[in-house]
Structure 1
Amino acid sequence: MTDTQAPNPVRVDQTEPATPKAATHIKMSARDVNVFYGATHAIKDVSIDVDMENVTAFIGPSGCGKSTFLRTLNRMNDTIPIAKVTGDITLDGEDIYSPQMDVVQLRARVGMVFQKPNPFPKSIYENVAYGPRIHGLAPNKGAMDQIVEQSLKRAGLWDEVKDRLHDSGTALSGGQQQRLCIARAIAVDPEVILMDEPCSALDPIATAKIEELIHALRGKYAIVIVTHNMQQAARVSQKTAFFHLGNLVEYGETSDIFTNPREERTKDYITGRYG
């Protein structure tokens, strides 16, 4: 199936029992966010909440702004000189664009996993230990060993690499490298994990492992995933946001977005009329 074909049928994994849901814990909140690249208005008045209990998927055609908006959540757009962000984005009620915000600490709290696996040219152990070391999270080697082991276990990689922790991280397979990057993000004890098309460079078996990992991490971290693959969004997320031409067209329960969208543009995208 191509990214723009309609799911046939869409399978939405909603495993929760049909009981009243507890109030969700809003972790990040964006209000009236705009992003400009010079004269280009890339994101237009986007407002959205990200909570701890649900995986949130951003979907939409190429160039719609979903990755651009994702990068506003940990100020990755700061690295682009012509980028300008307006509006309000908070993490636990704290303005992340405040001059008082420590951007290094913000990116530890809001980790990013990129489209292409990017392990450091270091050992598997040192890839995971790098963040805790620079943030002073491990007072001794025993504490660091524990952080590395726990992070690799949470990333579903420990059993595959525990006997070769001093091998290069770049020698792992693509799927293993991506899980190593997730372990590296987890190691600094983040609160939010942003994933920008984390499976687009992986084969179906590696993709399935990443999706299983997302399910396992749900509830431990607030998770946002950008994906072109609508079947993947249906499988891994409970909330979905549809972007088009820089606008947030529709945001709601994944099951509703895929089976009963409110907006005609959402329906057209889901059914493959454009993409």
Structure 2
Amino acid sequence: MPSSTPIEAENVAPGETKMRARDVSVYYGKKKAIDEVSIDIFTEFVTAFIGPSGCGKSTFLRALNRMNDTISSARVTGCIELDGEDIYSSDMDVVQLRARVGMVFQKPNPFPKSIYDNIAYGPKIHGLAQSKSDLDEVVEKSLRRAGLWEEVKDRLSDSGTALSGGQQQRLCIARAIAVEPEVILMDEPCSALDPIATAKIEELIDDLRGRYAIVIVTHSMQQAARVSQRTAFFHLGNLIEYGQTSDIFTNPRESRTQDYITGRYG
């Protein structure tokens, strides 16, 4: 049943709460896609959202940076806070919110610009770099953090769309990092990639852990087990269970979680 308090694993010391959702529901027209979800997102952990297709995990992810605002029929109720500030408040600058809470999509979507300009675009429009040398530094730092610098440093003027799929996804992660976000949301970032590119993205997520609060939606339970420290299981728009990843996969408290983990449905 939906609860007004976050579902937590037992005996887990809380970290720094970066985002806090309480009684969040999302509607598409009259259809309720998310039903009163309450959850805390911590800076120290990678949090994985798992569950069957259509269970609401991507819808809830998009609510965390108001991406559902782009859908005319979508409506969000409840409260989502970033550092204690209501992100759905009329005072919230949505452009600034999406800089603070970046999004990496399922399919890599580099801008039809050079590799350099893909990274430099955000810092320029947000005023984070005052000179060409500042921009150069931001571009190099972001590409290094995304594990891409050594592969592209001699062709920064090439189009970002000319890169391989895995490189494009790391470019998109570098682009998100470049505007100094506090949270990075990843919506199935490896689903279009081969196993080698997937491994590189997973290594990157591990490298970025602790610098940013990271939330990843994944259909792969193996991936959730590899990259996350917290896992939230969604089913039919409800948050069924949330806690330490090791507990979710080895000792779930809910029978529905157990059934999904063991492949009885989903």
Give the unaligned 5+ runs of structure 1. 1-19
CA distance in 1, matches of 2:85, 2:36: 20
**Structure 2 letter corresponding to 1:50:** I
SS in 2 for 1:44: strand
SS in 1 for 2:98: helix
Aligned to 1:47: 38
CA distance in 1, matches of 2:26, 2:12: 34
Aligned with residue 221 of structure 1, among 212, 224, 239: 212
Aligned to 1:97: 88
Give the unaligned 5+ runs of structure 2. 1-10
> 2:75 matched to 1:84?
yes
Aligned to 1:64: 55
Q: How many residues matched?
A: 256
Aligned to 1:74: 65
Aligned to 1:137: 128
CA distance in 1, matches of 2:14, 2:214: 17
Aligned with residue 266 of structure 1, among 246, 257, 261: 257
Measured after TM superposition, the shift of residue 22 of structure 1 is 6.9
Matches for 1:28-43 after TM superposition, within 5 Å? 28-43=19-34
CA distance in 2, matches of 1:187, 1:253: 30
SS in 2 for 1:100: coil
CA distance in 1, matches of 2:13, 2:255: 31
Measured after TM superposition, the shift of residue 23 of structure 1 is 4.9
Measured after TM superposition, the shift of residue 21 of structure 1 is 8.2
Distance 1:173 1:98, change over 3 A: same
CA distance in 2, matches of 1:249, 1:26: 20
SS in 2 for 1:71: helix
Q: Please give the TM-score of this superposition, normalised by the length of structure 2.
A: 0.95
Distance 1:191 1:120, change over 3 A: same
Aligned to 1:166: 157
RMSD: 1.0
Measured after TM superposition, the shift of residue 173 of structure 1 is 0.2
Aligned to 2:117: 126
CA distance in 1, matches of 2:41, 2:12: 16
SS in 2 for 1:223: strand
SS in 1 for 2:23: strand
SS in 2 for 1:142: helix
> 2:13 matched to 1:27?
no
SS in 2 for 1:175: helix
> 2:186 matched to 1:205?
no
SS in 1 for 2:191: coil
Q: Cα deviation per residue 1:44-101 (whole Å; 9 max; x = unaligned)?
A: 0100000110100000000000000000000000000110000000000000000000
**Structure 1 letter corresponding to 2:239:** L
CA distance in 2, matches of 1:268, 1:41: 24
Distance 1:22 1:63, change over 3 A: closer
Q: Cα deviation per residue 1:105-136 (whole Å; 9 max; x = unaligned)?
A: 00000000000000000000000001001111
CA distance in 2, matches of 1:38, 1:194: 25
SS in 1 for 2:44: coil
> 2:183 matched to 1:185?
no
CA contact (8 A) 2:22 2:79 kept: yes
CA distance in 2, matches of 1:221, 1:233: 17
CA distance in 2, matches of 1:256, 1:21: 10
CA distance in 1, matches of 2:130, 2:111: 23
**Structure 2 letter corresponding to 1:175:** G
Q: Please give the TM-score of this superposition, normalised by the length of structure 1.
A: 0.92
CA distance in 2, matches of 1:263, 1:202: 32
User: Kindly, what percent of the aligned residue pairs are identical?
Assistant: 80
SS in 1 for 2:49: strand
Q: Cα deviation per residue 1:146-181 (whole Å; 9 max; x = unaligned)?
A: 000000000000000000000000000000000000
Aligned to 1:244: 235
